[in-house]
Each structure stands twice: as structure tokens, then as C-alpha cells.
Structure 1
Amino acid sequence: MSSRRTTAIAGSLVAASFSAVLILSGTAGADDPEPGSSQGGKPVDAAPGGVKLTTLLPRKISVDNKSQETAITATVKNEGTKDSGKIRLLVVGFDGLTVKNVQGCSPIEEKNLPEGSNSAFVCSIDNLAAGRSKAYTVDATFDLGKTGKICLPVQTADGKKTFWQQGPVPFGTTNPSPNAPATPLLLGTDNKPVAPGGDELAETGARQDVLPLGAAGAALVAAGAAGLWWSQRRRPHGQEG
């Protein structure tokens, strides 16, 4: 009888341990990468019939506290029923977020950067079939003592029309981790420095805007709608098309 009781208790302990492992595994799964978000995006110029272009950014990224390096996945999608034809995706960095490289894409020279940005790459796409998407790995740095934004416009191959633009949308931290190896940043959250030029990590506050488009973002949308970003970039500042 004693032996049976011991066996039963041992069996219960094993079952409890197994349940705990399952619970912990489920909790760990909650930290897996979330699906991308089109937050801060909107159509600008009308796309060809049957073509619906959008972009996605990760809901969360992580910045190395020592190197300030981070990786972002930028995705362009054609949610329409017809192929897109030749288009291009731009990946543009603002403020504390600097785009260092986009796999398979070309850097835009400093003199041709969108106003207010610090870096940009152009990704040429020969065609994006209906229902398909294309993802790009973005290598960037993020100065946690500053705000940081990214912008993803989708344009015609010549840049004269902008079918869709996401951002400039901010990334920010809701949980400063100065002693941790990395700091998590959330999409749609402003990074607010503690003090100008300070060495401390930034304080943050969630954006109240439904669509996080600041003054720079509004200017980019207007410029994209007028087809002025690159095709007419040499005109004097303020001259209308």
C-alpha cells in the first residue's frame, strides 16, 4: 500500500511538473514576434484598378543598449486582384532612427533625401503579384536619447506618384532598461528624452493620435501626392508644381 501511495504521489508530481512546463512554454510563446502592423499608413494617390498596396512594420523591435543597433522588417503587400507592375518602396529614417542598410536596396544620396530625414534606401520592384508580399531586412541604429521614426512610401517606379505611405511613425520604449542588454521599442510610441544631450535612457509616452503623422509626415504625404519628392527635388524651396 505504501508503495502504491508513493507511486501515486510521484505520478502527481510528474504531472504537475509537466503542466508547469506547458504553462511556461505558453507564456514564452507570447513573446514571439507579432504580425506586422500598418499603423500610421494611408493611401495617397489612386493606384491602378485592382491594385491595393500597403506596408507593414513590426509591432516591436529591440535596440542593443551598447551598439544602438536594431533590425526591422519592412514589408510591402499587394492586397488587390491585379499585379502592381513596376513600383518602388522607400525606407526612410528620421531623428534618432538611422537606416544603415536595406538588403537588396540602394541608398539615396544625402542631397536627395526627403526633407527632415537623415537616411533613406530605395527598393525597386519589377512586379508584385496580386495577393503577394515582399519583405526587406532593415539594419538601423536608434539613439535612445532621441525620438526615432521610420517612413515607408510605396511609389511608381519614377517616384511621381505615391500610392501608399506609412509614417513617419515612431518607435519608443515603455520600459527603459539601462542595465539590460537591449531595450524593447513599440510601434506608435514616442520616445521622449529625459534631457537634451543627456546620457540617460528616454522616458516615453504613448501617442494620442489615431494616425501618428507629425509635421514632417504631413509634409511627406503632401509632397508625395504632388509628385515632388524626387522628380522635382531641384526646384527652389516652396515653389509649387
Structure 2
Amino acid sequence: MSSRRATTAVGSLIAASVSVVLTLSFPAGADDPGPGSSKGGKVVDAAPAGVRTTTSLPERISVDNSSGKTSITATVKNEGTQDGEQIRLLVVGFDGLTVKSVQGCAAIAAKDLPEGSNSGFSCPIGHLAAGSSKSYAVDATFDLKKTGKICLPVQTGDGGKTYWQQGPVPFGTTNPSPNAPATPLLLGTDNAPVGPGGDEPPKTGVELPKTGVGRDLLPLGVAGASLLMAGAAGLWWSRRPAGPTAS
């Protein structure tokens, strides 16, 4: 093979390699929700010594613009050095985000939902070993004409204490995509509702402290007003009497 032909062949191989890398990496990046985040989370009641319970949500989800369907992975972790006692995870939706099902969990009766929420599921976890985690597949819908929030409290099995609560933290976008097949939403971002003029309905109710990084105020509406009267400092379930628990 001549030097010129060899140079041409090598150049073609390099070009093909670059093409393959771009073709494979771009779709993976588009579909990858990124690492989980505990944004909007806060300790409520002190956990037993050596136990550190937290939760995480994906940094990004995608909402189908036709059906409004989306999927979310909710993860609970024991980042401590000791095994935990029996706990349960609650997955609760607010406003435009409605939780339809959570794998392995039971729906919370409407009468036992926190005020202001529209849906919720209770997930009995049992004892979570030190350094271990458990993830749940959450099926939900998101009305892009509204804002939407999700909340993950981690409680004792009887609901008497809340060791950790993430949220209510919003998913949203400041750049709606009504003509695209799907709209990506980011954790910790207030949604800009899709509608005539893209205007968001005026906020009402009491403003309470947010718990996420870079978030100063979290509007909780009617639920917030009830919490202030109860002196719960924005943690709406930290002192709530336990309702029926799924087994």
C-alpha cells in the first residue's frame, strides 16, 4: 500500500471513530437523568445514634407532552454507621405533579394526605442497614400548565417521628417546550406553566422557608398557613399523628 493510500485509510478510520463516539454519546447524555440529589432535604427529628437517613431524587425528569406521563426514581439511604430501625418512605405529590403509583407501595387514603397534596404512597422499608439504600420507581403525571412539587418524608414505621424530609421540592422548567415530544424538568426549579402567554397563576397563601440549596422561600399555600399556626416551621408531617400504615 502506498504512503498516500495508508494516510487516506488512517484518516477514514479516525473520522469513523469520531462519528461513532458522537452517535453513541449524544443519546446517552440526552436520556441520562444525572446523579440523584438530596436538594430540598432536611433533618427533622433526631435519628438513633449512628443512623443517618436521607433521600434523593433525579436532577432531571422528562414529561411526555401528549400524555403528561413521567417517571421518577425515589431513593432512601442510610449513610450512617449503624443499622436503622423500621422506617417507611412517603412519596407525596403537590399541585401539577400527581403520583399515580410507586412500586411496592400502597396508596395513602385521601383523608390521611397532608393538606394541600393531591396524592401519596406509603412504602414500608423495614430495617435499612448501614451504608445501604433502596430505590422506588415512581409513575406520575405532570400538568405543565401548573407548577408541581414532590415530597419524600422518611418516618418511623408507626409515623411517630420524621427523621428526614425532602421537599416539597419543585420540578420545573423556565423554558416550556409545548411543541416538542417531551419537556425536561429540573429538580429545584419552579415551573413556568405552558398556557396562553405562558403566565403562571398568581401565588397565594403563606411563604415558608425552603430547605434546598439556593432556595429562600417555598410557597406552600393553605398547607403553609396551617403549619405556621401549628408551629411546625414548614415541616408539615414532622408532628402529624400517624395514619393507617400500609403493610
Query: Is this a same-fold pair by TM over 0.5?
Result: yes
| 1:81–1:131 contact (8 Å) kept in structure 2 | yes
SS in 2 for 1:210: coil
| 2:174–2:192 contact (8 Å) kept in structure 1 | no
Q: Distance in 2 between matches of 1:80 and 1:106?
A: 27
Q: Distance in 1 between matches of 2:81 and 2:132?
A: 10
Partner of 2:49: 49
Gaps of 5+ in 1: 232-241
Partner of 2:160: 160
Partner of 2:13: 14
Write out aligned runs for 1:169-208 (5 A): 169-193=169-193, 198=196
Letter in 2 for 1:224: W
SS in 1 for 2:237: helix
Letter in 2 for 1:178: P
Alpha carbons of structure 1 residues 16 and 194: separation in structure 2 relative to 1, 3 Å: closer
Letter in 1 for 2:14: A
Letter in 1 for 2:215: V
SS in 2 for 1:159: coil
Please tell me whether residue 33 in structure 1 is matched to residue 14 in structure 2. Answer: no
CA RMSD, Structure 1 to Structure 2 (Å) = 2.6
TM-score (structure 1 length as normaliser): 0.83
Partner of 1:71: 71
Partner of 1:106: 106
Gaps of 5+ in 2: 201-211
User: How big is each residue's C-alpha offset from its partner over 1:132-187, in whole Å with a ceiling of 9 and x where there is no partner?
Assistant: 00000000000000000000000011111110000000000244222221111110
Please tell me whether residue 215 in structure 1 is matched to residue 216 in structure 2. Answer: no
Instruction: Give, in angstroms, the shift of residue 125 of structure 1.
Output: 1.3
Deviates more, 1:122-131 or 1:144-153: 122-131
| 1:99–1:138 contact (8 Å) kept in structure 2 | yes
Instruction: Give, in angstroms, the shift of residue 20 of structure 1.
Output: 3.6
Alpha carbons of structure 1 residues 13 and 78: separation in structure 2 relative to 1, 3 Å: same
Q: Distance in 1 between matches of 2:15 and 2:154?
A: 53
Letter in 1 for 2:13: V
| 2:57–2:73 contact (8 Å) kept in structure 1 | yes
TM-score (structure 2 length as normaliser): 0.81
Partner of 1:236: none
Partner of 1:116: 116
Alpha carbons of structure 1 residues 123 and 147: separation in structure 2 relative to 1, 3 Å: same
User: How big is each residue's C-alpha offset from its partner over 1:105-142, in whole Å with a ceiling of 9 and x where there is no partner?
Assistant: 01011111101100010001111000000000000000
Instruction: Give, in angstroms, the shift of residue 4 of structure 1.
Output: 3.6
Letter in 2 for 1:77: K
Letter in 2 for 1:42: K
Q: Distance in 2 between matches of 1:91 and 1:141?
A: 14
Instruction: Give, in angstroms, the shift of residue 5 of structure 1.
Output: 1.4
What is the total number of aligned residue pairs between the two structures?
A: 224
Q: Distance in 1 between matches of 2:106 and 2:180?
A: 34
